[in-house]
Structure 1
Amino acid sequence: MTTMAADTRLAPERAESASDIRRHELAAFLRSRRERITPEQVGLARGRRRRTPGLRREEVAQLSAVGVTWYTWLEQARDIQVSVQVLDALARALLLDPSERAHLFALAGAADPAPGTECPAVTPALRTMLEQLDPIPACVQNSRYDVLAYNRTYARLLCDLDAVAPEDRNCLLLAFTHDDWRASIVDLPEVTRMMAAKFRASMAGHLAEPAWKALVHRLEERSPEFREVWERHEVVDQRGRTKYIRNAHVGLLHVEHVNLWLGPSSGPRLVSYPPVDARTRDRLEELHRLASDAA
């Protein structure tokens, strides 16, 4: 009689999921930040029996007003949900700098309700590139149409951008609400419709993020035109094309809209407007001279 040998091969271990990896990274990051802070840095007494380097878990919980057990679970990489309010409190308690704070929220898979004003995408080298592109108008935008940096020619292309408050330097907002910007756009209804459609396509990956929702709310409050276009639910991808701009200083410009992605296609991009013809090239050079004289 022949007996079959038992199959002793082990089933392959379950592959660690992305969320598992992120939870363990978050746990390790919190632990490392906790251990580097001395009690004196946060106004606590050191005491005589301190064996833990840095702060104790209960001290972090106290400083951030969360339960000790709950915080311990975070450092143990338990599968629990973390609110943005708790993340904000932890960032403050652990004295995180802007880069560390951004990393904390990224590991938690949450949108920071109070992101730093500095944009890591705009490096000194990128600013130099913008300057060297003059007289070609160029700027750096994120996928939400925020203008993060720009050169002198771009500053006078559609309006006096330097006179616009930094928090209002958003191309979508300006296209629907700023009189000078709107006056510079030839075929305004088509341009604004396409911008809204591109914005909706980009927003699909950011639906829960406060900054995106706040911009939509602001536009809906200030622009009936935006409300009407937004309700169409149109979407298009980001692509360049030639366009005409009616500049207040040098007249009609015929330019190519060029996007140079600085990372994933949903992230920041360098936007430039090289001239299509010789007349536009001459007019852009004149616009750059005017902008330089005004600087």
Structure 2
Amino acid sequence: MSPSLAPANVLGTYLKDRRARLDPAALGVPAARRRTPGLRREEVAQRANISPAWYTWLEQGRGGAPSADVLERIARALMLTDIEREHLFLLGLGRPPEVKYRTGPVTPRLQRVLDALSPTPAVIRTAIWDVAAWNRAACVLLADYDSLPPENRNILRHMFLEPRARAAQHDWETVARFVLGAFRVDTARSGAAAEIAPLVEELARKSPDFARMWQEHDLHGAPGEAVKHIKHPLLGPLAFEYSAFAVDGRPDLTLVIYNPLEAKDLARLAALLDKPQDKP
């Protein structure tokens, strides 16, 4: 590739390009005669609340690597999209930005993916472990999300406050400890401490087990793959391959699929789906 197509200062080149694409008038910047399109360097620096000299050095490839905080402020100043922001971090720090919790509906496309997986149960959970979307098989296996109010569609709430969830586990204490430790890691990574505070307070008040485990500060990384055993009230003991996948374009969402280990169990689950009146 020629030097013109692969500049040595890729971060500076990217910043210049994004800066040139902004409309000063639309951003309320006073009209002035400009030799080049877009914002001036000092205007970006002002919007990002950083030194104009420091921003100039970044564009010129001087001054060393920027901090994540500086890149975050520049991303906001340049009004970058999520994918543009990620690209900025990859150029500036060699890694994507940390996942930040946000709210927002699951797209119809993702819901169609879940529905296509049935009769294999599947859900999409948020960074604070709310179940944001599900298929019918998940309602039969895990919880009747269709009938639950949104505030009750939380995996921790279900695990610690729902008697059915406790009865479904072969070793509830071990499973609950693992779920809580993984939840703590996920919410810390996503910067959702403020969002989970009311839930933590409520669960500590209503569940002595939660209060005890929360104070122990155990941490667990959520496994990408594992085997989950469930005692279903209608189908009896079941074993599933639990697989978790990041959702492209939404790092705050996780697709979780429960694939039955035994083909006969998948057939039994499919048969139960044909009898909605038999919901457990």
CA distance in 2, matches of 1:220, 1:74: 42
Query: Which residue in 2 is equivalent to 1:46?
Result: 31
Shift of residue 51, structure 1, vs aligned partner: 0.8
SS of alignment partner, residue 241 of structure 1: strand
Q: Which residue of the other structure, out of 160, 164, 181, is the alignment partner of 1:177?
A: 160
Tell me whether 1:36 sits opposite 2:21 in the alignment. yes
Query: Which residue in 1 is equivalent to 2:3?
Result: none
Tell me whether 1:241 sits opposite 2:227 in the alignment. yes
Shift of residue 256, structure 1, vs aligned partner: 1.8
TM-score with structure 2 setting the length: 0.67
Tell me whether 1:209 sits opposite 2:189 in the alignment. yes
CA distance in 2, matches of 1:103, 1:239: 28
Query: Which residue in 1 is equivalent to 2:64?
Result: 79
Query: Which one-letter code corresponds to 2:189 in the other structure?
Result: E
Query: Which residue in 1 is equivalent to 2:207?
Result: none
CA distance in 1, matches of 2:9, 2:82: 21
Q: Deviations over 1:194-228 (max 9, x none)?
A: 4356668xx4xx89734376688777653224326
Shift of residue 54, structure 1, vs aligned partner: 1.0
Query: Which residue in 2 is equivalent to 1:226?
Result: 213
The range that moved more, 270-279 or 186-195, is: 270-279
Query: Which residue in 2 is equivalent to 1:18?
Result: none
Tell me whether 1:254 sits opposite 2:238 in the alignment. yes
**C-alpha contact 1:174 1:182 (8 A) present in aligned 2:** no
CA distance in 1, matches of 2:30, 2:195: 45
Query: Which residue in 1 is equivalent to 2:75?
Result: 91
SS of alignment partner, residue 30 of structure 2: coil
Query: Which residue in 2 is equivalent to 1:128?
Result: 112
CA distance in 2, matches of 1:76, 1:26: 9
155 and 33 in structure 1: CA distance in 2 versus 1, 3 angstrom threshold: farther
Structure 1: tracts of 5 or more residues without a match? 1-20
Query: Which one-letter code corresponds to 1:290 in the other structure?
Result: P
185 and 174 in structure 1: CA distance in 2 versus 1, 3 angstrom threshold: farther
Structure 2: tracts of 5 or more residues without a match? 1-5, 205-209, 248-252
SS of alignment partner, residue 230 of structure 2: strand
How many residues get paired? Answer: 254
The range that moved more, 52-61 or 219-228, is: 219-228
Shift of residue 55, structure 1, vs aligned partner: 0.8
**C-alpha contact 1:158 1:180 (8 A) present in aligned 2:** no
Q: Which has the higher strand share?
A: 2
CA distance in 2, matches of 1:235, 1:91: 29
The range that moved more, 65-74 or 134-143, is: 134-143
CA distance in 1, matches of 2:89, 2:102: 10
211 and 80 in structure 1: CA distance in 2 versus 1, 3 angstrom threshold: same
Tell me whether 1:55 sits opposite 2:39 in the alignment. yes
Tell me whether 1:276 sits opposite 2:256 in the alignment. no
TM-score with structure 1 setting the length: 0.64
**C-alpha contact 2:122 2:257 (8 A) present in aligned 1:** yes
Shift of residue 28, structure 1, vs aligned partner: 2.8
Query: Which one-letter code corresponds to 2:137 in the other structure?
Result: T
**C-alpha contact 1:259 1:272 (8 A) present in aligned 2:** yes
**C-alpha contact 2:224 2:244 (8 A) present in aligned 1:** no
Query: Which one-letter code corresponds to 2:36 in the other structure?
Result: T
CA distance in 2, matches of 1:30, 1:288: 56
**C-alpha contact 1:158 1:245 (8 A) present in aligned 2:** no
CA distance in 1, matches of 2:191, 2:58: 26
Query: Which residue in 1 is equivalent to 2:271?
Result: 285
CA distance in 2, matches of 1:132, 1:65: 47
Question: Identity, % of aligned pairs?
Answer: 27
